[in-house]
Each structure stands twice: as structure tokens, then as C-alpha cells.
Structure 1
């Protein structure tokens, strides 16, 4: 008998997903251990793991023993990294990053282009100025678009972005069709307010002047399942899936991204929570100083972002280096040397916002992400000031590489792949953040 509302196929997929998620989280595991943890019979796990072995998703990884009542040796199973390729994309006001990894998160290729190019130029011209690609010989999903240079420059913004991602992915993989190259899923993290259920960017005035559907055009272009979410929620998911945090995830995690603005995401024993209006965890727009400057994004006076963002620092202390990421590091270094009082004030403002979040959410850990936290000084100052408020909370640097924002897209794709039990097709799928 199956639980009400679930077919035998649903149960099979759920159990396959449980096996893959456990092995992804803990590393190689034996069938007996999988059965005990999942509450399944060893016979069921043997059948399902046999399917996964036959499909090439799992491989044997050594043995130990003898073990068990029959004195059998334990044979350990692990996910085979080469069993699939994931495509992650990160959209920010100034750039698009496209990243390809294997199932273990190892980087196979990455490329950045300025946002003005994907926002207003056809993808063929992005990669090969003055050249036009030939016609595809195959009818696989996405091949015709890749071979012709993708959707035209005058197309819908979501279609144009999808064409740019397709063109870059094809270049990274050396094949016109991502599906033919072994891609099993793709994910897109985008700044602004995003509805993960529909894969739509609802508001990002720095890039588009209206809501833009992103998941459907990208799934059509790539021919693989696609998940879309806000970039900071996607990165928080990456913290849970792609770093050592996955082995012992905290019961409550507040993920904070700094640079060029300030963003946040909140998770409590599951995927990052989007909230009723898809704005949960936005610590950057919480009030820090009532008489502070007006924020150009939220319109409120004295939010954290209005005081510590790259734009705010440039307005008060000079432009620094060109480029939003190098610029904020350069400005903070200069501030620490030339205006230590202002530097301490910046840390205090951060600590005030984090203290308020701790009081409200009671997280067990805060992960700070971004180039400004590569060094120890700013992180240590913030942690010390939060500790002095009497609100205990572990504050640590994120385990993610801040130069690879598209890892958020990789995490979205991996999460969907694991949730589907390793099964994939060209079906358009929403992010699992809404589970």
C-alpha cells in the first residue's frame, strides 16, 4: 500500500532521492546503513541502488567487514561525479556568469560577460562578433538555438538571456546542445525579487523595467530541467549543499552576502525560505539608523544597504577601483587605513543589523559571504560586536568562493536533480525552494 495521493512511481522516486541525498550529504555509505537511516528494507535499497548503479549514477567505493549478521562485507556506494554535468548561471546588474560543474561541484568551465551584452545583444555576437554560426544538424532541444546564435537581440528579455546562457554553455562544453553533452539540469540565481515557484523575476529595475519570465525560456533553450531563484537564496542553498556545512547543517542558518549591496537568506532545517512576498531574509533593508540616507532600492531611510553598500561608500569616500567587486574591497582597505573610526562604524552597523536578526530569528549560525570577508579583520570586528550584545551565535565566513556567484545556480540544479531521484528530462521544473 502506498501513502494517499502517491503512486508507486512517486514512492520509488522519493526513495531514490533519499538514497542520493544521504550519500551526497555523508559521502560513501553501505546499503545496510542507507536502509537503517531511511527506514527501508535492505531488499528495497538493494533494488533501488542497483538501478542507480546500472544508470551510472552510483559506483562502488571500497568495502569493509565482515559486517552484519551473515558476516558479509560492507560495500560502500558513492555518487559518480562524472554521471552528469550541471549548468549554473548568476545574473547581477553588471554581469552574467555561466558555470559548468560535475555532480561533485568541481568546476569544468566558467565565463563572465557584462550585463549590457546579454541585455541588448544577441548571444552569437557576444561570443563571435561579426560571425554567424551554421545550421544545426540535429533536432535535440536547444541545438537549433545554439547553432543559429540563439534568440534574436530583439526578443523577450528572458529569451535573450536564455540565448546568452545557451551560447556560453555550448562554448564551455564544446557541444551545441547541453543535453547532448550530458547536462542533467540547470539553475539561475538572479538579483532582485524573484518568485521561485514560477521562475519569474518580479522586480529588478537595475536590469529590466518589468517582470521577466526566466525559467521557461531557459528550459526551452537548454533542453534540461531549470530552477530559478533569488541569487542570495540560491547561494544560501549552495552553502548547504556544496560546502562542508552539508555534513552537519545547522538548525538555523542566516546567510548574508556583502558586495556590492547587502542581501540575506534564512533557512531552518530545509531550503531557504522565500516568504509570502519573496522577500524573506532581506537584512540589507532593515533599519539601522533612523536619520540615515534614503535607499534607492527600498526607498526607506537608514537601512543597512544605504549605509554600507558600494554606492554609499563611493558617495562618501571616493570611487576606489573600477569594478564593483574589486571596488568595495579597495574602499574598505582605504577606510581601515585612513578613517579607522568610519571603518569601526561600518562594522558596528553590520553588527547592529545582525543583532536584530538574531533576536528575531534565533539562528545557530551566520555565514558571511563576499570579497570583503576574505580577510579576517572585518569579520572579526563584526563577530566581536555581536558577541558583546549578549546574543550568542556562531559567525563564520561562508565556505563558498565569492568569485563564483553562479554556484547558486549550480546548487539549484543539484537540489532539483537529487529531489527527482536522479531522473531528468526536458520538463520545465520550478525550484524546490517552494517544497
Structure 2
């Protein structure tokens, strides 16, 4: 496996990219909670924020003052109660006109660089196939692609940070991709390399955890209490969150479901999994498995995207392949529902998101196999970001860090006292 031990030393200029930490700020408890309430309900009165967060009005006023000073929120037009009754108030809302975050998603065959505003909306993206799997060269290429994307689409807004997401084992604390078997990567210090190359704060996490956090911040409201997110692509993995916190595990291995056995009927002439067994979830439902099955049926598809396009236009064999995939994913979903009993399970898989029969088949499989889930229509939902999953994942890593600690050392933000 390829490894990387030292950061690249190439400067990529970006707006306000000085990495000198901002002056220390006084961290008031609950500033992240206040920012989250404004994200959820803005434009919203400070008094309503106090009620939503359980903080005192004076405390909320202090938090909002610091968020205003940092340019993360703005005041809206003054409003009054019904028929002009009640004391006028000035609502606050997320300010999307001053800052962006950048994102990078590293897939098996391609990578996506994106820009996202502070409400989680993708502003621009650039997806390209890998020219190399060498980690140093690939990360250098990602950094180089970011500068023209910012120049073309930032519209004067400063970039606060870069978030990086990928599959398999990622350690967010160290900013290291611990292991990515398909790329042949082990212990790649992504944060060090990209912070040196871009001058930005860099945050790194698995794409499943990133997308679970994105659902909680910007997507399916029912994910707030507890959620399992199942990602099905070239890589198959999962994430579990409860009480707003994502579980990683002591070795950053939580959500490693690629080798979950599907049981009888899963394997139908499939090649053995990389683990040496057959019938593993990833070996049956990954993009590579789908392309191989299409070839076996004489269905020409140069890539997974080609196969999906054919299914979306109604090609019967392609649709059948996606429906088979949905049923197998439904088996895994039923197991995860029984294991974690979450409020909702989010399936990140294009068939479930774009082909109604696939979502129906997946839910039917859950209904037949789960001992816990009594309402698959409510409990099993497609991704809120279907069509922009990869562009969302990287940016969500950076936004998750920002909303967790909005008064932290974000170099592009002004210091507050």
C-alpha cells in the first residue's frame, strides 16, 4: 500500500489564506447551539432562540453579538407581531454573502472539489477522474483545482476552510486517512498536506459521517434524534449518530459494513470479496459489482454513471439490476435497523433516490426482514442530497466543524473580544 509521511510544500494562493490563528476569543457556552438554532429557524428573534436553546435572553444576546461580529449571521428587517401588535424585534439569520467553505471528496475512480455556502448549498463543483492514485500527487492536484474554482465562483466571498471526505477508515482527530484499500492508501496525512498546499484550515472525515452530519444540519429533520446512514457506492460503509453526536470508535472504524454477510441468495455467481469470502455486502452491491453484472448480461456500460443513465431512461435490464441492488441493500438496512433501532435510516444510493421502484423494493425488504422497524415508509428515507452527494460530503466536513465551534480559530474570520 502507498503511504505518505511528509506534507507537500506548494503554495496555492486563496483569498485571506493566512493561517496565523486568530486572536483568542472568549468562548461562551452554547454559541454553537445558538448558531444551530438560527440555521434551523432563521430569520428568528433572539427571544425565540432563547426559548429553543434554553439559554437566558442575556446569554443569547451575547452569543448573537459574537456571531454578528464574526460575520456568520446578519440582522434582517425589523418585524412586529400580528396586526402590528407586540414589541418590534430584529430577527437574525445565517449570512451567506460573506463566506464559503471548500470541499473535496475522494472516490475510487474520481474526485470532486466543491464550494458550499453556510446554509449547505453547493455553489460550484468540479468532478474529474483520477490521473494517479499516488497520494501526494492526487492531493496536490486537488489543491490546484481549488484556486480556479474559487476565482470563478466565490463572487468575493472568503473561503473559511477545506473539508475532505472519503470512504473507509479516516481519523478526524489527526486528519489522516488510516486505510483506503481500493486506492491502496494507508496512513496518509491529508490535513497536513492540504493545509500546507492551500493555506486553509483542513478538516477530514469519512463520507458517511460527513453526510450523516449534513442530514442533521441541512437535511432530513427526523435524523436529529438518532440516525444510521448507509452509503452505497464504489465503497460501502455506514455511520451512526445519536443525540447529535457521531460515533467513530476508538480506531475510527465504526461503520465498516463492507463485509456484512448478506446470507442465502445474496451471491449469484459473484466474484469473491477482497476478504476471500463471497456474499459480502460490498462485493454484491458496489459500483464495480454492478458494472460486472451488466457486462455479464451483455448490457454495454462504460461506467457506473452510464448504467445509471440507462436505468433512468427506462432500459429494462439496467432497471432490473438497480432493483436487485435495492433488495440486497434492504437486507443490510434491516440488519442495521435491528442493531441500532434508530429514528431513521438514510440510504445514500442513487437508485433509492431516483428510481421509485428501487425505494419501494428496499422498503419492502426491510418490512419483511426487520424485527424492529414497523413503518419502513417513515423510517427508511433516501438521501436529502441525491444528485449532489459527493459535492456535499467534503463541504459538510468543514461546516460541521464550523457549527460545532463557531468561535474557534478560523483565520478568515475577524477576532472578537
Match in the other structure for 1:189: 165
Which residues in structure 2 correspond to 1:389-400 (within 5 Å)?
389=369, 391-392=373-374, 393=376, 394-400=379-385
Q: Which residue of 1 aligns with 2:211?
A: 235
1:239-296 per-position Cα deviation (integer Å, ceiling 9, x unaligned): 22232x2x45342212122233432222222243222332322333211136845654
Structure 1 residues 10 and 46, CA gap change in structure 2 (3 angstroms): closer
**In structure 2, distance between residues paired with 1:21 and 1:56:** 15
Cα displacement string for residues 299-325 of structure 1 (whole angstroms, at most 9, x for unaligned residues): 433112222223223334416421233
Q: Residues 57 and 422 of structure 1 are in contact (CA less than 8 Å); yes or no, is this contact kept in structure 2?
A: no
Report the alpha carbon displacement of residue 198 of structure 1 after superposing the two structures with TM. 1.2
Residue in structure 1 matched with residue 63 of structure 2 by the alignment: 48
Give the Cα–Cα distance (whole angstroms) in 2 for the partners of residues 249 and 27 of structure 1: 20
Structure 1 distance, partners of 2:397, 2:98, is 17
- Consecutive unaligned residues of structure 1, counting only runs of 5 or more, are 1-7, 121-156, 428-435
Please name the residue that 2:47 is paired with: 32
Work out the number of aligned pairs and report it: 373
Which residue among 137, 142, 145 is the counterpart of 1:165?
A: 142
Query: 5 Å matches for 1:366-377?
Result: 366-373=345-352, 374-377=354-357
SS at the partner of 2:258? helix
Report what 2:16 is aligned to.
none
Tell me if the contact between 2:273 and 2:280 (Cα under 8 Å) persists in the aligned partners: no
Q: State the shift of 1:194 in Å.
A: 1.3
Q: 2:200 pairs with 218, 224, 247, which one?
A: 224
> Are the aligned partners of 2:294 and 2:301 in contact in 1 as well (CA < 8 Å)?
no
1:77 positional shift: 0.6
TM-score (norm 1): 0.76
Distance 1:96 1:317, change over 3 A: closer
Give the TM-score taking structure 2 as reference length.
0.79
Q: Which moved more, 1:326-335 or 1:216-225?
A: 326-335
Mapped partners of 2:102, 2:164: distance in 1: 9
Whole-Å separation in 2 of the counterparts to 1:100 and 1:164:
16
The gaps in structure 2 that reach 5 residues or longer are 1-23, 413-417
After alignment, is 392-401 or 75-84 more displaced? 392-401
Q: How does 1:15-164 map to 2 (within 5 A)?
A: 15-66=30-81, 71-117=86-132, 119=133, 157-158=135-136, 160-164=137-141
Q: Distance in 1 between matches of 2:107 and 2:87?
A: 53
- Give the direction of change, closer, same or farther, for the CA distance of 1:323–1:274 in structure 2 (3 Å limit): same
**Greater CA drift, 322-331 or 44-53:** 322-331
CA RMSD of aligned residues (A): 3.1
